Amino acid sequence: MKLSVIAIAGLLSLASCAPTGNYAVHEKRNGDNRMWTPHDIELDRRAMLPISISLTQQNLDKGYEFLMDVSDSKSPNYGKHWTPEQIKETFAPSAEAVGAVKEWLTSYGIIDERLSVSKSGSWIRFNSTIGEAEVLMQTKYRVYEHADTKKTHIACDEYSVPAEIKSHIDFITPTIEFGAVVRELKKTRALPRRDVTKGSTNGTTKLVGLAVEGPRLALPPPPPKNGPVAQASSPTYCDQYITPDCLRALYGFPVGSLSKSSYGIVEFTPNAYLQSDMNLFYASLATNVPVGYTPTLNSIDGGVNQVTYQGFAYNGEADLDLQYAIALVYPQKVTLYQVGDMVEGASFNNFLDAIDGTYCTYSGGDDVIDPVYPDPAAGGYKGAKNCGTFTPTSVISISYAYNEADLPVAYMNRQCNEYMKLGLQGVTIVTSSGDNGVAGNSNQCCTYQGCSGGWLNAAGASGAFNPSFPGTCPYITSVGATQIVPGSKVTAAEEACTTVIYSGGGFSNNFALPGYQTSAVKTYFKSHKPKYSTTLYNASGKTRAIPDISANGANYLCAVDGVGQLIYGTSASAPTVGAIVTLINEQRIGAGKSAVGFINPVLYANPKALNDIKKGTNPGCGTKGFSAVSGWDPLTGLGTPNYPALLKLFMALP
Ligand SMILES: *[C@@H]1O[C@H](CO)[C@@H](O)[C@H](O)[C@H]1NC(C)=O
Ligand SMILES: *[C@@H]1O[C@H](CO)[C@@H](O)[C@H](O)[C@H]1NC(C)=O
Ligand SMILES: *[C@@H]1O[C@H](CO)[C@@H](O)[C@H](O)[C@H]1NC(C)=O
């Protein structure tokens, strides 16, 4: 249907017939835009905008209680996870919300025939002229230019909706985010160029894999065929390099023996593993796995395990994650969620869309940060985007992160609510807490508003602490890194990782402190509060604290591009913790019980099932960071897994 252009004069007269309800500001961009500069170009107000109104889901405010009901060991409903249908019914926007928003649109002349409403009622879409949208939302659109790419976008600084329907609307796009596509937009003159203010987290929203390259080290020769099985119970080399045997000795877990489900590992293209590296690794360090064994590929949005580009930057992360995941859980299967094509790559929402159709059709937010599929770029993936195509595995490990400060709040909240829903369905999500101590990815600190409540302008100051997302979402198990004290045995207590990387940790600037963490964080602040300025981090003790748990993240011996290679990072710690949870799930499923699902409430209620780490710091941003102490701390969490204790704990639960 071709839309007719509505004259603005006519529109205004229509608007005057609208309900006279008061408007209230719905969303407003805070602070400066860093990379985006507005221009005083006159926009053609007849140009068309594809408007999406994302309706508020019901019961999100009860999400935490719902999740605790199935995840808290004291709850009678522990382990009684929800079906996808239950999730859909519980959270879908109410018919009342859909009706009220339609009424608003109709009163402004945006009639039913122009609207497209999703089946679940989670969004309403229509094409609107810029002029029409400006009246509807009492806003003004402007042209912005990106400092690096010189791409232009139209956006507004804030918009309003009638106060009485505000609670029904989650957000409307395109509005304050950058990424809107506009059709038939006529530029009236060439765009002038201007400088933008730069922060040290500089507005480049970058998804980072957390595997850090170390020196090369020869892989040990394969054990002799038909010879005695290598004595692995107390390896002596683990302070110099970590192997699957070292991890088993450190945390007391056995070689896998059951195959009841699958363990999910997420990789974003062009990160890819090499089968030749897998085979080298199995032959040398994981002889429990047959050479030639491959993970089960779930290809998302054209995701390919590419071999065109090789080198540590392409193979390091995926080789590490998959070699250890497979070695630790085999004969349990490992599912590789390979996300994104070679042109655009991918990000978290592309993955979440693929494992949850309701998330996928709960529109909005994706095109702000994440690549959009089908990929319009030359050579891009032209198939339909994956939407609820795959089922989530019981445990999913993700070794990638953003700086929380670089992401829009609505984007993070929407995604975090999805992690809550996955938890309700019995899925455990483990993610890396970061490799730069209290600093963010690429060792960046925050110098703009929003990081810790204020600007940090002191001369020479490097900025505020910069925690990483998605670990700061309270529905995720965030994993920090430890190391064996150099020169010590595998049986000695570990310390926070200070070799090559520092364990990421700290306090969110966006998410509130979840109840399950309250007592642990309170104790930490009471006895060990560092004497830092309150501009460095949110020291209120009222925000989500990370990590929850930790595991060795130093000196992992891997096979990368045909040679032995040491790798460092919480990138190694997360798949290790995920593997241990998977082994516990195997035993539970074998005993006719459910998967463990969201583990944080049980962990915080039973800290003795973890090895408390009491030594080390996580420096960054010109400080020595936090210190590992007795009990929970913001660099090693509650400590490292004690598999026998954890198994006993979880097997005793219904
Ligand atoms: C808006 O216009 C585009 C391009 O003409 C069309 O593909 C799309 O279906 C329209 N959207 C709605 C909700 O009518
Ligand atoms: C932002 O930071 C990234 C990564 O450190 C760097 O590559 C890029 O050039 C920076 N951009 C600006 C405008 O400073
Ligand atoms: C810290 O977080 C609390 C709770 O969200 C908030 O009320 C407070 O304003 C924050 N402080 C700073 C300095 O941002």
Residue matched to tokens 């309150």: 534
Q: Following DSSP, what letter does each residue of 226-241 receive, concatenated?
A: TSPPP--SS-S-TTT-
* Mean pLDDT, residues 427-445: 92
Out of 139-148, 267-276, 485-494, 509-518, least confident range: 139-148
Percent of the chain with pLDDT over 70: 84
Has 130 been labeled as part of a binding site? no
Give the C-alpha distances (Å, rounded to integers) separating 623 from 496, 530, 577: 16, 11, 29
Q: CB atoms < 10 A from the CB of 525, how many?
A: 14
| Ramachandran assignment for 541, one of left (phi > 0), alpha (psi -120 to 50 degrees), beta (any other) | left
546: pLDDT strictly greater than 90: yes
571: pLDDT strictly greater than 70: yes
7: pLDDT strictly greater than 60: no
Choice between 41 and 290, residue whose per-residue pLDDT is larger: 290
| Ramachandran assignment for 138, one of left (phi > 0), alpha (psi -120 to 50 degrees), beta (any other) | left
Q: Where would I find the beta strands (DSSP E) of 404-554?
A: 428-432, 468-469, 477-483, 495-496, 506-512, 543-546, 549-552
Choice between 245 and 196, residue whose per-residue pLDDT is larger: 245
Q: Are strands 169-173 and 262-268 parallel, antiparallel or unpaired?
A: unpaired
When pLDDT is cut at 50, 70 and 90, the band that residue 206 belongs to is low
* Mean pLDDT, residues 100-127: 88
Catalytic residue among 134, 177, 321, 356: 321
Distance CA 418, CA 229 (A): 45
Task: Note if 317 is an active site residue.
Answer: yes
Distance 200 CA to ligand 2 centre (A): 9
Q: Which of 39, 45, 36 has its CA nearest to residue 189?
A: 39
Distance CA 103, CA 114 (A): 13
**Are 465 and 621 a contacting pair, CB within 8 Å?**
yes
369: pLDDT strictly greater than 80: no
When pLDDT is cut at 50, 70 and 90, the band that residue 197 belongs to is very low
Residue matched to tokens 């990106």: 146
| Residue 344 burial (C-beta neighbours within 10 Å; 0-12, 13-18, 19+) | buried
Tokens of 352: 């979440």
Q: Which of 142, 50, 31, 627 has its CA nearest to residue 367?
A: 50
Catalytic residue among 134, 301, 317, 404: 317
When pLDDT is cut at 50, 70 and 90, the band that residue 368 belongs to is low
6: pLDDT strictly greater than 80: no
Distance CA 650, CA 263 (A): 18
Distance 158 CA to ligand 2 centre (A): 27
When pLDDT is cut at 50, 70 and 90, the band that residue 346 belongs to is confident
* Mean pLDDT, residues 442-459: 61
Distance CA 634, CA 537 (A): 12
Q: Please choose from 115, 127, 128, 181 the residue to mutate so as to test ligand 1's pocket, defined by most ligand atoms within 8 A of CB.
A: 127
pLDDT of residue 647: 98
When pLDDT is cut at 50, 70 and 90, the band that residue 32 belongs to is low
* Mean pLDDT, residues 140-167: 85
Task: Delimit the domains of the chain by residue range.
Answer: 2-57+92-178, 183-634+642-651
77: pLDDT strictly greater than 50: yes
When pLDDT is cut at 50, 70 and 90, the band that residue 631 belongs to is very high
Give the C-alpha distances (Å, rounded to integers) separating 221 from 282, 323, 481, 595, 642: 11, 17, 28, 37, 30
pLDDT of residue 560: 95
For residue 50, the ligand 1 atom closest to its alpha carbon is 1
Task: Report the nearest-CA residue for atom 8 of ligand 2.
Answer: 204
Q: Are strands 152-155 and 23-28 parallel, antiparallel or unpaired?
A: unpaired
Has 631 been labeled as part of a binding site? yes
* Mean pLDDT, residues 142-156: 78
Mean pLDDT of the chain: 85
For residue 196, the ligand 2 atom closest to its alpha carbon is 13
462: pLDDT strictly greater than 80: no
Distance CA 84, CA 424 (A): 9
* Mean pLDDT, residues 157-183: 78
Q: What are phi and psi of 451, to 5 degrees?
A: -80, -45
Distance 101 CA to ligand 1 centre (A): 19
Which residue type is seen at 642?
A: N
Q: Please choose from 452, 532, 542, 544 the residue to mutate so as to test ligand 3's pocket, defined by most ligand atoms within 8 A of CB.
A: 542
Choice between 182 and 416, residue whose per-residue pLDDT is larger: 416
Q: CB atoms < 10 A from the CB of 242, how many?
A: 29
Residue matched to tokens 């990929």: 375
Q: Where would I find the beta strands (DSSP E) of 380-476?
A: 395-398, 400-403, 428-432, 468-469
Residues with a CB atom less than 6 Å from ligand 1: 50, 116, 125-127
482: pLDDT strictly greater than 90: yes
pLDDT of residue 52: 87
When pLDDT is cut at 50, 70 and 90, the band that residue 279 belongs to is very high
**CB of 204 closer than 6 angstroms to any ligand 2 atom:** yes
Choice between 148 and 604, residue whose per-residue pLDDT is larger: 604
**Are 196 and 34 a contacting pair, CB within 8 Å?**
yes
Q: Which of 287, 297, 151 has its CA nearest to residue 226?
A: 287
Catalytic residue among 71, 128, 550, 571: 571
CATH architecture, domain 183-634+642-651: 3-Layer(aba) Sandwich (3.40)
8: enclosing H helix or E strand: helix 8-16
Task: Note if 321 is an active site residue.
Answer: yes
pLDDT of residue 185: 24
The ligand whose atoms approach the alpha carbon of 403 most closely is 2
